[in-house]
Amino acid sequence: MIAAERLDHTGATGTGDTRSAPGETVAVRRLTLTDFRNYTALRLDLEPSPVVLIGPNGAGKTNLLEAVSLLTPGRGLRRARIADMDRIPDTGRRDGSVGISGAGWGVAAEVDSIVGPVQIGTGREAGSDRRSVRINGAPSSAQALSGYLGAVWVTPQMNQIFLESAGSRRRFLDRLIFATDPAHAGRVSSYEQAMRDRARLLKDRGPDGADKTWLSALEAQMAERGVAVAAARLDMTDRLGRVAAEGFGPFPGAVVAIEGDIEALLRDGPALAAEDAFRERLAAGRAQDAVAGGAGVGPHRCDLRVRHLEKDMDADQCSTGEQKALLMALVLAHARLLSAERGAVPLLLLDEVAAHLDETRRAALFEAIVEFGTQAWLTGTDESVFAPLAQSAQAYRVAGASLQAMGQATGP
């Protein structure tokens, strides 16, 4: 009951005022990679302006975006295992062994964050399979990173987002929320932890053998945190929906809605009633959950539904091209929403997006990036695609695990 209040209160603690002065730009100003993917050692000093990375396939562009994505909570834009990011040493060296270097990796950054300059370090230490996070040198958690900056990405893998399971759409929605609500990442992970612990208890001792008081204590945790998670998702869909419906220049208008039991409870009544109802449903579902694992009800089952406004058609029924355009429309609507609400737009990581847009949409995307003043990171193989950004972006050629500044727009 008091948890929501306390979470909100504590979410703000330590990160200071999360609202920035209007017009403040969130940007990576220095990025240092150590034994990360194909990079042995890389240091980049950056302006707050957009970053363009040009290079052939396999050069390491996505790896760089992945490194930047790890400055926010979660597993990064590839959702890879932490150990997979260890640099694999070149073949043919010394004993010729190919294999895991096993020594860990590091991504360090100086960031102009929503609360001012901050140093973020993240990585894997040898012998650990967890990612460690340091903020201004002090040990911290990945969830705490959303108090400093947000990042939203679009990658070629996300072309399928409207066709895949609901999980990918939930993660996408959560990422949009991380950028405005520093407490959300912590709530989601606490909710999942309570759910896992309840599932374990049910599995180990059965619905009848497990301590009922213990089960209801876990269900209370799930209810408190789960309803807070659902409320944040509902709130984001509402706010985003208003902006997305207007469309974004040549990008289609979108109708967004969230579909789920807990979200429906929250729409129909007060949060406390939703908590009680959720708790009752969990208690009633113990026997079934003991067999099926997980939980049959909860915000971990909700879905983000997207419709093409003009065509009045569900996103998964739209053409591949229309689906891509809808996804970009949502990302741009989110940027517009945040720009209007707090003047600080999250980092945009757009992997191989530009080349696949038609000229009108590409121009609109570039214009929006410049207008929002966000540090967008764009990748591509063809330099000419980015010509319209020549004056406003810093461009690098990526080759052989090193970066070379292109043109004049890179100097201070």
Partner 1 sequence: MNEIERVIQLLSRLPGLGPRSARRAALHMINRRESLMQPLAQALKDAGEAIKICGTCGNLDTADPCGVCSNPARDGTILCVVEQVADLWALERTASFKGRYHVLGGVLSAIDGVGPEDLNISALVERCSGEVKEVILATNLTVEGQTTAHYIIERLEPTGVAVTRLAHGVPVGGELDYLDDGTLSAALQARRALG
Ligand X SMILES: Nc1ncnc2c1ncn2[C@@H]1O[C@H](COP(=O)(O)OP(=O)(O)O)[C@@H](O)[C@H]1O
Q: How far is the CB of 402 from Mg ion (least distance, A)?
A: 17
Give the footprint of Mg ion on this chain (CB under 5 A). 62
Tokens of 289: 């959950």
Print burial letters for 243-252: b (CB count within 10 Å at least 16), e (below 16): bbeebbebbb
Specify the stretch interacting with ligand X by CB under 6 A; choose among 57-65, 229-237, 276-284, 339-347: 57-65
Report whether 29 contacts 296 (CB < 8 A): no
199 CB-contact burial (10 Å; exposed 0-12 / middle 13-18 / buried 19+) = middle
Size of the residue set binding partner 1 (CB under 8 A): 33
* Residue 59 binding partner per list Mg ion, partner 1, ligand X, none, with a CB distance cut-off of 5 to 8 Å that depends on partner kind: ligand X
Tokens of 362: 């590409």
* Rounded distance between C-alpha atoms, residue 51 and residue 306, angstroms: 30
- Of 28, 42, 59, 350, the one binding ligand X (CB under 6 A) is 59
Q: How far is the CB of 189 from ligand X (least distance, A)?
A: 25
14 scored as a contact of partner 1 (CB under 8 A): yes
Q: Closer CB to Mg ion, residue 282 or residue 349?
A: 349
Report whether 346 contacts 335 (CB < 8 A): yes
169 scored as a contact of ligand X (CB under 6 A): no
81 scored as a contact of partner 1 (CB under 8 A): no
* Residue 54 binding partner per list partner 1, ligand X, Mg ion, none, with a CB distance cut-off of 5 to 8 Å that depends on partner kind: none
Q: How far is the CB of 351 from Mg ion (least distance, A)?
A: 6
Q: Closer CB to ligand X, residue 101 or residue 160?
A: 101
Specify the stretch interacting with partner 1 by CB under 8 A; choose among 108-116, 191-199, 238-246, 338-346: 191-199
* Rounded distance between C-alpha atoms, residue 91 and residue 111, angstroms: 35
- Of 11, 50, 60, 74, the one binding ligand X (CB under 6 A) is 60
> What part of residues 30-49 is at the interface with ligand X (CB under 6 A)?
37-38
Residue 52: beta bridge partners? 378, 395
Q: How far is the CB of 352 from Mg ion (least distance, A)?
A: 6
Amino acid at 142: A
Q: Which residues are annotated as a binding site for ATP?
A: 55-62
Distance between terminal CA atoms of the chain? 52
Q: Closest by alpha carbon to 28, among 59, 69, 60? A: 69
* Residue 363 binding partner per list partner 1, Mg ion, ligand X, none, with a CB distance cut-off of 5 to 8 Å that depends on partner kind: none
385 Cβ neighbours under 8 A, 6+ residues apart: 354, 355, 362
- Of 22, 58, 209, 269, the one binding ligand X (CB under 6 A) is 58
Residue 105: beta bridge partners? 124
> What part of residues 122-161 is at the interface with partner 1 (CB under 8 A)?
141, 143-144
69 scored as a contact of partner 1 (CB under 8 A): no
Alpha helices in 317-412 (DSSP H): 320-342, 359-372
Tokens of 117: 């300059």
170 Cβ neighbours under 8 A, 6+ residues apart: 233, 300, 302, 303, 304
Q: Closer CB to partner 1, residue 9 or residue 311?
A: 9
In 3-state terms, what secondary structure has residue 154? strand
Q: Closer CB to Mg ion, residue 61 or residue 184?
A: 61
Q: Closer CB to ligand X, residue 38 or residue 410?
A: 38
Report whether 185 contacts 141 (CB < 8 A): no
- Of 2, 13, 23, 57, the one binding ligand X (CB under 6 A) is 57
Q: Which residues are annotated as a binding site?
A: 55-62
* Rounded distance between C-alpha atoms, residue 52 and residue 129, angstroms: 32
- Strand 313-314: give its sheet, edge to edge: 254-259, 303-308, 313-314
* Residue 60 binding partner per list Mg ion, partner 1, ligand X, none, with a CB distance cut-off of 5 to 8 Å that depends on partner kind: ligand X
- The helix-helix angle for 212-244 and 3-12 (nearest 10°) equals 60
Specify the stretch interacting with partner 1 by CB under 8 A; choose among 167-175, 212-220, 280-288, 388-396: 212-220
Tokens of 153: 């990405």
> What part of residues 85-144 is at the interface with ligand X (CB under 6 A)?
85-88
In the complex, the residues that contact partner 1 under the rule CB under 8 A are 2-3, 6-7, 9-11, 13-14, 141, 143-144, 183, 186-187, 190, 193-194, 196-198, 200-201, 204, 211, 213-214, 216-218, 220-221, 225
In the complex, the residues that contact ligand X under the rule CB under 6 A are 37-38, 55, 57-63, 84-88
